[in-house]
Structure 1
Amino acid sequence: DATLRAAGYLAMGGQIVDATIVAAPKQRNTEAERAAIKAGQIPEGWAEKPAKLRQKDRDARWTVKFSKARPREDGAPQVDLAVPAFGYKNHVAIDRRHGLIRGWTASHAAAHDGARLVEVVDADNTAGDVWADTAYRSAKNEAWLAERGLVSRIHRKKPPGRPMAARTRRANARKSAVRSAV
Structure 2
Amino acid sequence: MPDAKTVWLFRKRLTRAGAIETLLDRFDVTLRNAGYLLMSGQILDATLVTAPKQRNTNAEKADLRAGRIPQDWQDKPSKLSHKDRHARWTLKFTKAERQADGTIPATDLAILFFGYKSHVSIDRKFRLIRKWKTTDAAASNGARVKEGLLDKTNTASTVWTDTAY
TM-score by length of 2: 0.79
Match of 1:101 in 2: 129
Q: Which sections of structure 2, spanning at least 5 residues, go unmatched?
A: 1-27
2:44·2:121 contact (CA, 8 Å) conserved in 1? yes
Q: Secondary structure at the match of 1:47?
A: helix
Higher normalized contact order (CA 8 Å, seq sep 6+, divided by chain length): 2
1:39 aligns with 2:66: yes
| Amino acid aligned to 1:3 | T
Match of 2:116 in 1: 88
| Amino acid aligned to 1:102 | R
What displacement does 1:3 show?
A: 1.3
Distance 1:80 1:111 in 2: 21
1:52 aligns with 2:79: yes
What displacement does 1:127 show?
A: 1.2
In the alignment, which of 115, 122, 128 is matched to residue 157 of structure 2?
128
1:11·1:127 contact (CA, 8 Å) conserved in 2? no
| Amino acid aligned to 2:145 | L
In the alignment, which of 112, 118, 123 is matched to residue 140 of structure 2?
112
1:33·1:43 contact (CA, 8 Å) conserved in 2? yes
28-37 vs 124-133, greater mean Cα deviation: 124-133
2:92·2:110 contact (CA, 8 Å) conserved in 1? yes
Q: How many residues align?
A: 136
Distance 2:30 2:157 in 1: 22
73-82 vs 115-124, greater mean Cα deviation: 73-82
1:61 aligns with 2:117: no
| Amino acid aligned to 1:86 | F
Q: Which sections of structure 1, spanning at least 5 residues, go unmatched?
A: 137-182
Distance 2:159 2:153 in 1: 13
2:97·2:104 contact (CA, 8 Å) conserved in 1? no
Question: After superposition, what is the alpha-carbon deviation per residue over 1:17-37, rounded to whole angstroms, capped at 9, x for unaligned?
Answer: 011110000000011100000
Q: Percent identity?
A: 59
In the alignment, which of 4, 9, 34 is matched to residue 7 of structure 1?
34
> What RMSD in Å do the two structures reach over aligned CA positions?
1.0
Distance 1:29 1:49 in 2: 15
The runs of 4+ residues in structure 1 deviating greater than 4 Å are: none
| Amino acid aligned to 2:91 | V
1:91·1:104 contact (CA, 8 Å) conserved in 2? yes
Map 1:161-176 to 2 at 5 A: none
2:96·2:104 contact (CA, 8 Å) conserved in 1? no
| Amino acid aligned to 1:61 | R
